[in-house]
Structure 1
């Protein structure tokens, strides 16, 4: 059996989601980091998809984090599953849409809108852990990489304001769910809902355990830092930080 390989784009949330999953499930693997464009060329050649991350494991080519969850859940003991038998599938599906789609999109837009003008910071983030050639490409061609991200994410002031509003709404809703003192979103047990929420919230809580390339908090621009400070003070933000601290480590627990 060959070692599992994970192809990632260093700062992407889905790439961090996949790292978190593999750490949680304890799957030995090798991470191969590629910057924007290069990552899609690699995944196209290996998995016939331009999407990243791409997990190659035991003959399977898994191009979405949802596929990775399905693949790994089937090989995990019941007490470690992120979709336990007693969980309501409809609730998990609703949380997946709210966190992995709605919140993750909003936090990505908000963070990139404020970070892309910081060329030195983003040159490092986009090329972190990639080959010397890819790092050089980012360094020399940063305006092209930044322009591509602005276009793909449709980064405008209007979108930034809408993203900030969405972040506030979702964090508020999560705080209300936690108000009864439950340790996790679905009750007493860590589930996929908690993982999806924590990863989606990462750009606005800046967890120390984040495995992707992010600058030190002191190097973030004031609007982003203000959002992080505010989010960390909320019950929802505190929960996201606890999830990273308690479950991002590869050791069971």
Structure 2
């Protein structure tokens, strides 16, 4: 049986789950939807309000970290190391999920939601009827997202500070010359950092096809280029280049 992965295609938490499934060789079909419209698919799957969701027979997974663990169990050791490195990798995954992910999402939404000229990117992979519905209801949908995720200038500035703080900590971890966050091999810690950084690093290898830096406003473009130039940003881009294969 082929699993179903319910997503908002451009969501970085969905990219985390998608990447883990790909890395572990799990067969799945992606069921992509636009924000808010995904509630319908979730209800059919008897899931909650968030994505990603994996449905595989009687198995229902509604959290990206649970999806990672489930995928790794099918090919043990692919993403979750053993021994002390396992605890370290899981701690970093949890930290990035709680701190980095919300910050990069809010910052990116703040700069992208006003840009109707980029809707063709945001709507990619969603059903045609949802794309049409978004055009008709865009102001309402955008207002709901801004309210729900506290997307405003103050929130974007707080998120930028949170990103800078996380990137400084990652740079400190990497300062001893290691190639990966927990040592000498690729783990869920590296995958989580790279995927949750994707909204602000916009790597070319991202399977969804994110907007490139020159498509952002000058203010946002300068900040993206600055993040890309940091040790942590360069690390995230390398992880995509080296490990994100179709």
Could you state the TM-score of these two structures normalised by the residue count of structure 1?
0.91
* Mapping for residues 119-138 of structure 1, pairs under 5 Å: 119-121=116-118, 123-138=119-134
Counterpart residue number, 1:101: 98
Counterpart residue number, 2:219: 223
Structure 2 gaps of 5+ residues are: none
Task: Assess if the C-alpha contact under 8 Å between 1:41 and 1:50 holds in 2.
Answer: no
Match of 2:156 among 154, 157, 160: 160
* Runs (4+) off by over 6 Å: none
* Mapping for residues 25-64 of structure 1, pairs under 5 Å: 25-64=24-63
Distance 2:209 2:123 in 1: 8
Distance 2:92 2:133 in 1: 38
Structure with more relative contact order (C-alpha pairs < 8 Å, separation 6 or more): 1
Task: Assess if the C-alpha contact under 8 Å between 2:21 and 2:68 holds in 1.
Answer: no
Could you state the TM-score of these two structures normalised by the residue count of structure 2?
0.94
Counterpart residue number, 1:247: 243
Instruction: Using the TM superposition, give the Cα deviation of residue 230 of structure 1 relative to its aligned residue in structure 2, in angstroms.
Output: 0.5
Distance 1:206 1:48 in 2: 29
Mark the CA change 1:194 to 1:119 in structure 2 (over 3 Å): closer, same or farther: same
Q: Deviations over 1:66-119 (max 9, x none)?
A: 1112211211143x2x22112345423431232111011111111111111111
Counterpart residue number, 2:84: 87
Distance 1:203 1:36 in 2: 16
SS at match of 1:47: coil
Is 1:112 aligned to 2:109, yes or no?
yes
Q: Deviations over 1:8-36 (max 9, x none)?
A: 11221111111111111111221111112
